[in-house]
Amino acid sequence: MKKILNDPFAFVDEMLEGILLAHPDKLRLVGADKRAVVRADAPIKGKVGIATGGGSGHLPVFMGYVGKGFVDGCAIGNVFSSPTVDQMLAATQAIDGGAGVLYLFGNYQGDVLNFAMAAELAEAEGIHVETVLAADDVASAPKGQEAKRRGVAGIFYAYKLAGAKAETLAPLAEVKRIAEKAIAHTRSMGVALSPCTVPAAGRPTFTIGEDEMEIGMGIHGEPGVRRGKLESADQITTHLVETILADLALAPGAEVSVLVNGLGATPQEELYVMYRKVHQLLTGRGITIYRPYIGEYATSMEMAGASVTLCKLDAELKPLLDAPASTPFVVQV
């Protein structure tokens, strides 16, 4: 293992300390163990609070989206490990402005169980909680079984669209509806070229040949749908996009936002090579691209690879995507 760190078991807390020192105007820590991050101005009276959370190792997911126009709070687990119930509850309490709290997080068993228990405790304190699960990874379950899918980079759109709606002081039911609509309109698929190493474990999460790739691998190293020899950028991108299109069923004239996401060790140049092909494939089918995002939006430590996400837009979602936002990792004006 070759990493820039001190004590592997202090990695997450030292990372949090650094982020808070860099952005004291935007974030603050709450909870007994200081493993929940919230907006510096939380709670905001009359505004629905949006809480998320998950294991570390995926920045900017999850805590990188805490801020205006995105989410209000985040519970932070160890690398690739779910946060605790207490951490989730601490975030919930700190962002409750009296209009209720929406839990918005990826569809992973540990997170689902712990957030459910946190919701029960919050309800007992008089905080009304609703839950929406991100489940955008088409490789993780077939069409018709969307509820079994993992949440990956597409959660970015759920954060952005629901976060923008919450900023209008819309009621909890409306913020939840937009989050659900965002998930229903979003599909992702990725490819992994190399593993990553969890600091506390000190060994790679999986093994793969120098000349191999795995299509559909999850962001924690969950098995994909096909492993084989490394293909060209155009071949990889075509496979990802065509698989997404078969699931999302976009007709000519549709408008989408595109997210080409690096998994942690993929150069920006390679992501733009992929975006070039995404653009060719979509425009060739009469699909318009609006506001593309290219960069690292949901990573897996130093894993090499990338994912493509499409989010189908309409007259309701487009202005929410355009709305201004500001977090330590994303600024949109």
**Catalytic residue set:** 58, 220
Least Cα distance to 155 among 183, 130, 116, 191 occurs for: 183
Please give the Cα distance from 96 to 166 (Å, whole number).
Answer: 12
Please give the Cα distance from 269 to 124 (Å, whole number).
Answer: 50
What SS3 string covers the chain?
Answer: CCCCCCCHHHHHHHHHHHHHHHCCCCEEEECCCCCEEEECCCCCCCCCEEEEEEEECCCCCCHHHECECCECEEEEEEECCCCCHHHHHHHHHHHCCCCCEEEEEECCHHHHHHHHHHHHHHHHCCCCEEEEEECCECCCCCCCCHHHCCCCCCHHHHHHHHHHHHHCCCCHHHHHHHHHHHHHCEEEEEEECCCCECCCCCCECCCCCCCEEEECCCCCCCCCCEEEECCCHHHHHHHHHHHHHHHHCCCCCCEEEEEEEECECCCHHHHHHHHHHHHHHHHCCCCEECCCEEECCCCCCCECEEEEEEEECCCCHHHHHHCCEECCCCEEC
